[in-house]
């Protein structure tokens, strides 16, 4: 038994960090349980010459099924399009690995049912979230430029945009030739010294950890401030279940330490920030006589409506060097030319183009993002010289519509090293997503050819799952949702779910900016209702 905290936060990633820091600023005593540890910058693969090896293996691989660190749990991947689940457990979570791309949702993304007759509307609007987007931008540190015509006006970016480089300028000319919209991206990678962090040095290894802290992994943004203000982080704490009292209120959480000893941390309020797979897994494992089907699951929707983002990678080979390895991996530019629903197309909603950089020579030899390896034999050097460093990549990132058959459940056989059931993720692309990716692939090819590409390499349909969304969605009706507009569960009045799981829709942008903004807003709601 330990001291009762005001708020117990489970998970120290993008959501848990922002929420904890905000609550601590407001005066709450917060304890965070994180099943990973603090990461030393000197341990990042980006500090070593063999950093590209981590793409295929190693302790910093993107997939927990490959890494198999103590803090990882296995993920069973199945369905008609089994998802390649990518996430990282540590203080800072997957922000150690992310690119730093920092777009916002469009206002329309909160009103999909009203506008297009699919999915469900959010119970909050862009306008309500806007001040928290701004707050999150300041805390994380963002490089960008104002004036984007495809999005609402926003406060001045904390630092200027990162350089486009030869790659960005070249693909931009292709979009200009077609008369298509594009814009320099917001990235949570600072271009000038900011908030006691140094400016980006353009090394280009961002996805393998930024050792100087220019990229906004939340251990160097929110967590360092939260801990300084009194927040307590307990690393290497693997939560088994959330406990409840006789009245059906959350009492705390039972967790294992790294030695396998069992503890209980009690709190007045419990907040789960375990991502779109970890959160439903924990709720479904927290069965009790009061909640026989899993905690906060009277709707039967915990684990249902799992969303990632439909993806397709198109690489263009150019005669001139594009030097895609040079500069921050954060997306230099993007286009939302095909973002909103168009009745002339055979799909609803839309997609973004991410105009992206790449890794080094080993990655290209292995086949790049399109998995087209450079052949062995007499032509090896010729093909390698043709591709590296001559490639520009366009990623098609589509909106995923929620479908109940796409789901996270407990696997009946596979368990983690503590004996806790592993999550089983069942996923398949619907016809809408496949039609969207077909259109996106054709348009990306057109843009690359307009920019001067002499060869096109296409990944086809792929399903990387690093945006884990929708499995405990937000809504007004308790029969159609798991949490309300303030992230409080309908069934348990002192239990909140604050991460990608509570997204009602996925939009067609990376979610981390919206996850952080919603976490800040949720913290204000928790504080306001702390005596309820």
Work out the percent of the chain whose per-residue pLDDT is above 70: 99
Q: Is 327 a residue whose pLDDT tops 90? A: no
pLDDT digits (tens, 9 = 90+) for 169-187: 999 999 999 999 999 999 9
Q: What's the confidence (pLDDT) of residue 328? A: 87
User: pLDDT higher for 134 or 52?
Assistant: 134
Q: How far is CA 53 from the centre of its chain?
A: 23
Residue 52 belongs to a domain: no
Q: Would the CA dihedral through 353, 127, 519, 287 be positive or negative? A: negative
Residue 446 belongs to a domain: yes
Residue 381 belongs to a domain: no
Beta-strand relationship, 311-317 and 391-398: antiparallel
Q: What confidence category does residue 76 fall into, taking pLDDT thresholds of 50, 70 and 90?
A: very high
Q: What's the confidence (pLDDT) of residue 1? A: 57
Work out the percent of the chain whose per-residue pLDDT is above 90: 94
The 76-78 sheet, strands edge to edge: 76-78, 421-426, 407-415
Listed residue (210, 161, 166, 164) closest to 190, CA to CA: 161
Listed residue (19, 15, 63) closest to 527, CA to CA: 19
Q: What's the confidence (pLDDT) of residue 530? A: 82
Q: Is 438 a residue whose pLDDT tops 70? A: yes
Q: What's the confidence (pLDDT) of residue 426? A: 98
Listed residue (355, 315, 313) closest to 334, CA to CA: 355
pLDDT digits (tens, 9 = 90+) for 474-500: 999 999 999 999 999 999 999 999 999
Q: State the average pLDDT over residues 403-429.
A: 98
pLDDT digits (tens, 9 = 90+) for 41-51: 999 999 998 89
Residue 383 belongs to a domain: no
- Residue by residue, DSSP assigns 349-376 as S-EEEEEE----HHHHHHTGGGT-PPPS
Q: Is the pTM of this model over 0.75?
A: yes
Listed residue (481, 524, 520, 488) closest to 504, CA to CA: 481
Q: State the average pLDDT over residues 258-280.
A: 97
Q: How far is CA 265 from the centre of its chain?
A: 27
CA distance 522 to 505: 18
- Tokens standing for 35? 């099943």
The CATH code of the domain that includes 326 is 3.50.50.60
Tell me if 338 sits within 8 A of 393, measured CB to CB: no
CA distances (Å), origin 18, targets 228, 521, 530: 14, 10, 18
Strands (E), 180-336: 183-184, 232-234, 238-244, 250-256, 262-272, 311-317, 333-335
Q: Is 408 a residue whose pLDDT tops 60? A: yes
Q: What's the confidence (pLDDT) of residue 483? A: 98
Q: CA torsion, points 441, 447, 451, 452, in degrees to nearest 10?
A: 50
Q: State the average pLDDT over residues 56-76.
A: 93
Sequence-separated contacts (24+) of 138-141 with Cβ below 8 Å: 139/18, 139/21, 139/221, 139/222, 139/516, 140/102, 140/188, 140/216, 140/218, 140/221, 140/222, 140/516, 141/188, 141/190, 141/194, 141/195, 141/197, 141/216, 141/221
Q: Which of 101-115, 353-367, 477-491 has the lowest mean pLDDT?
A: 353-367
Q: Is 269 a residue whose pLDDT tops 60? A: yes
Q: Would you tell me how many other CB atoms lie within 10 Å of the CB of residue 200? A: 26
Backbone angles phi, psi at 175, to 5 degrees: -65, -40
Strand-pair partners of 250:
244
CA distances (Å), origin 7, targets 20, 26, 519: 9, 12, 14
Q: What's the confidence (pLDDT) of residue 532? A: 66
Backbone angles phi, psi at 501, to 5 degrees: -60, -30
Q: What confidence category does residue 58 fall into, taking pLDDT thresholds of 50, 70 and 90?
A: confident
Listed residue (22, 97, 93) closest to 60, CA to CA: 97
Element (H, E) at 440: helix 431-451
Residue 209 belongs to a domain: yes
Q: What's the confidence (pLDDT) of residue 172? A: 96
CA distance 334 to 337: 9
Q: How many structural domains does the chain have?
A: 1
Residue 62 belongs to a domain: no
CA distance 474 to 109: 14
pLDDT digits (tens, 9 = 90+) for 127-147: 999 999 999 999 999 999 999
Structural domain for 396, as ranges: 5-39+70-357+390-528
Which positions ≥6 away from 499 have C-beta within 8 Å?
A: 11, 13, 14, 15, 16, 272, 273, 274, 275, 276, 279, 515, 519
Tell me 171's DSSP state. H
Q: Would you tell me how many other CB atoms lie within 10 Å of the CB of residue 2? A: 12
pLDDT digits (tens, 9 = 90+) for 79-91: 999 999 999 999 9
* Angle of CA points 332, 439, 340, to nearest 5°: 70
CA distance 89 to 38: 10
Q: How far is CA 280 from the centre of its chain?
A: 16
Q: What's the confidence (pLDDT) of residue 84? A: 97
Burial state string for 312-342 with b = 16 or more CB within 10 A and e = fewer than 16: bbbbbbbeeebbbbbbbbbbbbbbbbbbebe
CA distance 352 to 89: 28
Residue 370 belongs to a domain: no
Residue 470 belongs to a domain: yes
Element (H, E) at 413: strand 407-415
pLDDT digits (tens, 9 = 90+) for 286-318: 999 999 999 999 999 999 999 999 999 999 999
Q: What's the confidence (pLDDT) of residue 33? A: 98
Average pLDDT over the chain reads 96
Q: What's the confidence (pLDDT) of residue 142? A: 97
């Amino acid at each position: 038994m330990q001291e009762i905290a005001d708020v117990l936060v489970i998970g120290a990633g993008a959501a848990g960090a922002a929420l904890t820091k905000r609550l601590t600023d407001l005066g709450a005593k917060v304890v965070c349980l994180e099943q990973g540890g603090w990461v030393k910058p000197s341990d990042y693969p980006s500090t070593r010459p063999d950093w590209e090896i981590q793409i295929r293996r190693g302790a910093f691989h993107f997939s927990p099924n490959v890494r198999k660190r103590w803090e990882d749990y296995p993920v069973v991947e199945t369905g008609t399009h089994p998802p390649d689940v990518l996430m990282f457990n540590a203080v800072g979570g997957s922000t150690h690995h992310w690119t730093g791309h920092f777009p916002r949702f469009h206002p329309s993304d909160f009103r999909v049912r009203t506008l297009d007759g699919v999915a469900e509307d959010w119970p909050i609007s862009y306008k309500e979230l806007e001040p928290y987007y701004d707050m999150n931008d300041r805390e994380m540190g963002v490089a960008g430029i104002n004036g984007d015509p495809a999005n609402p006006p926003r406060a001045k970016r904390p630092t200027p945009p990162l350089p486009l480089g030869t790659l960005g300028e070249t693909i931009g000319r292709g979009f200009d030739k077609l008369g298509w919209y594009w814009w320099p991206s917001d990235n949570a990678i600072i271009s000038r010294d900011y908030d006691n962090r140094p400016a980006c040095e353009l090394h280009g290894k961002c996805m393998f950890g930024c050792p100087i802290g220019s990229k906004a992994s939340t251990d160097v943004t929110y967590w360092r401030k939260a801990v300084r203000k009194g927040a307590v982080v307990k690393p290497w704490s693997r939560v088994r279940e959330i406990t409840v009292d006789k009245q059906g209120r959350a009492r705390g959480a039972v967790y294992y330490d790294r030695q396998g000893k069992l503890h209980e941390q009690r709190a007045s309020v419990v907040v789960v920030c375990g991502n779109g797979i970890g959160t439903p897994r924990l709720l479904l494992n927290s069965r009790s006589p009061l909640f026989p089907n899993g905690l906060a699951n009277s709707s039967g929707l915990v684990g249902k409506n799992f969303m990632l983002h439909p993806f397709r990678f198109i690489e263009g080979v150019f005669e001139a060097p594009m030097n895609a390895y040079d500069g921050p991996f954060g997306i230099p530019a993007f286009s939302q030319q095909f973002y909103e629903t168009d009745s002339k197309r055979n799909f609803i909603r839309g997609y973004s183009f991410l105009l992206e950089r790449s890794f080094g020579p080993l990655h290209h030899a292995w086949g790049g993002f399109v998995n087209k390896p450079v052949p062995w034999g007499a032509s090896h050097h010729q093909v390698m010289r043709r591709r590296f460093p001559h490639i520009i990549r366009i990623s098609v990132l589509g909106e995923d519509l929620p479908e109940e058959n796409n789901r996270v459940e407990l696997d009946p056989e596979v368990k983690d090293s503590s004996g806790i059931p592993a999550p089983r993720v069942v996923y398949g692309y619907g016809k809408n997503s496949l039609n969207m990716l077909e259109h996106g692939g054709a348009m990306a090819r057109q843009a690359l050819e307009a920019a001067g590409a002499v060869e096109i390499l296409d990944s086809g349909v792929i399903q990387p799952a690093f945006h884990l969304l929708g499995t405990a969605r937000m809504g007004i009706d308790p029969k159609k949702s798991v949490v309300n507009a303030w992230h409080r569960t309908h069934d348990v009045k002192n239990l909140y779910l604050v991460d990608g799981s509570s997204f009602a829709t996925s939009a067609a942008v990376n979610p981390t900016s919206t996850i952080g903004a919603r976490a800040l807003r949720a913290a204000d709601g928790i504080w306001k209702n702390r005596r309820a």
